[in-house]
Amino acid sequence: MTGHWVWVVGPDCYLDDDGREHPKLVPGASAMRWACHRDTRPGDLAVLYRSRRAKDLAYLLRATSEPAYEPGPRPWNCAAEVVRRLEPSIPLADLRADPVVAGWSALRASFVRTGSPVPDEVWDRLMAMAP
- Give the model confidence (pLDDT) of 102-119 as tens digits: 999 999 998 887 789 999
- Tell me the CATH class for 4-118: alpha beta
Under 8 Å between Cβ of 79 and 64: yes
d(CA 120, CA 111): 18
- Looking at residue 118, its pLDDT comes to 97
Res. 131: pLDDT tops 80:
no
Angle at 124 between CA 65 and CA 59, to 5 degrees: 50
Res. 96: pLDDT tops 80:
yes
Res. 18: pLDDT tops 90:
no
d(CA 9, CA 54): 10
Residue 27 CA from chain centroid, whole number: 14
| Cα→Cα distances 125→40, 58, 76, 118, 122, Å | 21, 15, 27, 11, 5
- Looking at residue 70, its pLDDT comes to 85
- Looking at residue 125, its pLDDT comes to 97
